[in-house]
Structure 1
């Protein structure tokens, strides 16, 4: 699409537009490889990991979303739930002081959850899923048979302020002026030491170490923005990018994020607290 021929000004910077176009082309042109290269020919641990910063204030509706995954324990999966303190201790034990300091620089719980998921999956491997995602009961065993990174692509329409259905945006050539393509941070499924997870962990750490006059933007620092940038960097370096990660075109059949939850109406929702100091307090559900 030639945006210079469009009377509307492109809402994205040049780098953001290039990143969006990269995701569009990669997702729409993705083809499953005939075989997995050796470094990814390994199984992923069947660990399902959640994070909620303060489990003493876990909303009931969020708890119900998390509990929907417990049925997988019957299939050999292990569920783990971390809070801010246990996540910090995990990072301290496995990654050290520098990464703990970066975690401490995350000013909102959503940033802490982002940073922790990169840390955990890089160190241990497994399956991180947001605490507001609901499991629909479809088998996920096939996602653990090889060590590639598994992610779902997203597409947001600026003009309508709505997400675009994957059925519509994965079609080759599908695109509109206001569409922004990126990769979501949930689910995050990979074997330990995956190069993309390593890159996003390091990139997020560097971003959190920067001296800034104002609090950094959430998505660009720890969220989908920095994840997508990290994928772009690694894919450009790889000779066989399709063998590095698996694009989950049909993730909505397995799980969806429940939107109407109590916490989304207050400062626990990062969209309402972006670049603002967050202080935990007793909040009603």
Structure 2
């Protein structure tokens, strides 16, 4: 190779490198702007939903709506007191609370088993697969299952059946988050506890659970946020009620069913209350998600 060609080779390589760098920067800028545009689109729709709910739901978000029951006698008579959503609020709190109490321990124990006892076993893989399938199953199928298993044998709809349907939705969410949080704990910590002579159950209870506590609580809160707005399984289990009822053996009201029924009533006052109910559900779910994010951030 001549001396001139040898001298031109570094300059040619530098030109190619610069062209490649410019192309990479252009590609990076294009991808960045696409990501920003997609984020803005998502934020626009989220903000539109929140603004619409606030605009339509705030006018009736008062003490009367929160403390009075449904008033069917108001149809066309402005002189009678308007009804509220107290029966639906109490029913939702009871069913969601009972579903959380039922589903959380089961999900916690299954997640612990998968993370600590059956991490690489075939049975653990099968349980994990079934849990993942249940996590993505349509909620109306869960409602049909509880309808056949509980509603028909009991001879009618009940708040207990609604709570059981919601509990089935809670279980796979808690299973997944519990397993993931426990797997993040270093094995050296487990080995250190076992080396001190502690049995495995005590190691899990006093060390692993404490280390993963915030993550487990976050999973429970996310599960509660998911079931708070479920309507389809409740239509087939608790069915709904227009009066205050705390009897889990009978049909029980809930906010999602109240919203569904009153939004389809055709009466402007009931449609307005349905908007208020939707706002209450949204604010509750938003508060739960914010709490979960705060706990997760503190854990990190």
Interval containing the TM-score (normalised by the shorter chain) = under 0.3
Q: Under a length normalisation based on structure 2, what TM-score does the superposition of the two structures give?
A: 0.25
- Give the number of the structure with larger relative contact order, counting CA–CA contacts within 8 Å between residues 6 or more apart: 1
Q: Which is helix-richer, 1 or 2?
A: 2
Q: Which is strand-richer, 1 or 2?
A: 1
Q: Under a length normalisation based on structure 1, what TM-score does the superposition of the two structures give?
A: 0.26
